[in-house]
Amino acid sequence: MPQLKSPMDILRLLDHSNCRQCNEPSCMAFAAQVFKGKKKLSDCPKLDPYVIEQYGEGVESGDRPPTSEEAVEAYVKSLKQEVRKIDLPAVAEKLGGVYQYGRLTLKVLGKAFSVYPDGTLSAEIHTNPWVSVPVLTYITKGAGRNITGKWLPFRELKQGSAWSGLFRQRCEKPLKQIADNDYDLFVDLLDVFNGRPVEHLDADIARVFYVLPKVAIMVCYWRAEVDFDSNLNIFFDEAANDNLDIASINALGSGLARMFEKLAVKHSTGQPFAVSL
Ligand code: SF4
């Protein structure tokens, strides 16, 4: 695990926005508190989960730590090395994918995403680390458990309670904001990814997505009423517990929210939707 030996090493990982969401007056103050052991890296909701995973929560002596981009890159590299040890044709069916033309292909939010035996990735659309890491984790660590039909809120997933604040902040809140601002646009965005409409309680809209073949999520949104604020919750099929780790589930949710935000901005400037993952 890379090591952090000074507050400056910690500060280098942060986004320098001084947004105060960690309840500290600045990123520098937060870095100092982490260095003293009074805060954890995960107390910063803007820090990438993969960076947290790379560093853990402790501060130790050592060489200059890599930047957050380097940490994610190193993690992707280690997952690709794990892929090389896996018999992809043998696990294709278990993962809900297909092995053809010398590569394993999985559907990620309905888009084809392929992995070659040497760990090389290719996709029909542009991809980002927020999707590469979960896909590689699904292949290397997932149990391939079938979809159960039982839905759980994020906090009830394994280790979900520890990550639920981050997930609420980085996924559910931004998506709710988009829906609050422009409900019709939000519905259009859900349609871009072929969400399957479902009846869920009294939600105004509920759609199921397969973020991976055996990782299903249900996005539910309730519009504001006279005495109630609007609300948005995301539920997970219970199989997600065994098919993906909590960091990857959180990253997929955060990435999805970022992508929706980008598409909403494009819409507001009259640009066509150009989907990337
Ligand atoms: S929440 Fe993160 S980005 Fe915001 S001030 Fe704290 S450390 Fe900086």
What pLDDT score does 60 carry? 52
What pLDDT score does 57 carry? 59
Helix (H) or strand (E) holding 249: helix 246-268
What pLDDT score does 59 carry? 58
Can you name the residues that pair with 137 across neighbouring β-strands? Answer: none
Q: CA 60 to CA 4: how far, in whole Å?
A: 5
Which residues of the chain have a pLDDT value below 50? 61-64
Q: CA 71 to CA 50: how far, in whole Å?
A: 7
What pLDDT score does 272 carry? 60
Query: What residue has token string 């400056």?
Result: 8
Is the Cβ atom of 100 under 6 angstroms away from ligand 1? no
Is the Cβ atom of 218 under 6 angstroms away from ligand 1? no
* Alpha carbon of 27 to ligand 1 centroid (Å): 5
Residues in CB range of 70: below 8 A, 6 or more apart:
none
What pLDDT score does 65 carry? 52
Helices 129-141 and 68-84: crossing angle, nearest 10°? 30
What pLDDT score does 176 carry? 95
Is the Cβ atom of 46 under 6 angstroms away from ligand 1? yes
- Nearest residue to 261 (alpha-carbon basis) of 204, 182, 196: 182
Q: Whose CA is nearest to atom 6 of ligand 1?
A: 22
DSSP readout, 35-67?
Answer: HTTSS-GGG-TTS-HHHHHHH-S-----SPPPP
* Alpha carbon of 211 to ligand 1 centroid (Å): 29
Residue 154 and residue 237 in contact, taking contact as beta carbons nearer than 8 Å: no
Q: CA 36 to CA 7: how far, in whole Å?
A: 9
Ligand 1 atom at shortest distance from the alpha carbon of 45: 1
DSSP readout, 129-197?
Answer: HHHHHHHHHHHHH---PPP-S-EEEGGGSTTHHHHHHHHIIIIIHHHHHHHHH-HHHHHHHHHHTTPEE
Q: CA 121 to CA 165: how far, in whole Å?
A: 31
Q: CA 93 to CA 84: how far, in whole Å?
A: 18
- Nearest residue to 269 (alpha-carbon basis) of 213, 185, 144: 185
What pLDDT score does 177 carry? 94
* Alpha carbon of 276 to ligand 1 centroid (Å): 27
What pLDDT score does 61 carry? 42
Can you name the residues that pair with 221 across neighbouring β-strands? Answer: 205, 232
* Alpha carbon of 216 to ligand 1 centroid (Å): 31
Residue 108 and residue 165 in contact, taking contact as beta carbons nearer than 8 Å: no
* Alpha carbon of 47 to ligand 1 centroid (Å): 8
Digit-coded pLDDT (tens) for 22-74: 898 888 888 888 888 888 888 888 887 777 877 775 555 444 455 556 667 77
Residue 271 backbone dihedrals phi, psi, to 5 degrees: -85, 150
The model's pTM is 0.73
Tell me how far apart the terminal alpha carbons of the chain are, to the nearest angstrom. Answer: 28
Residue 107 backbone dihedrals phi, psi, to 5 degrees: -95, 125
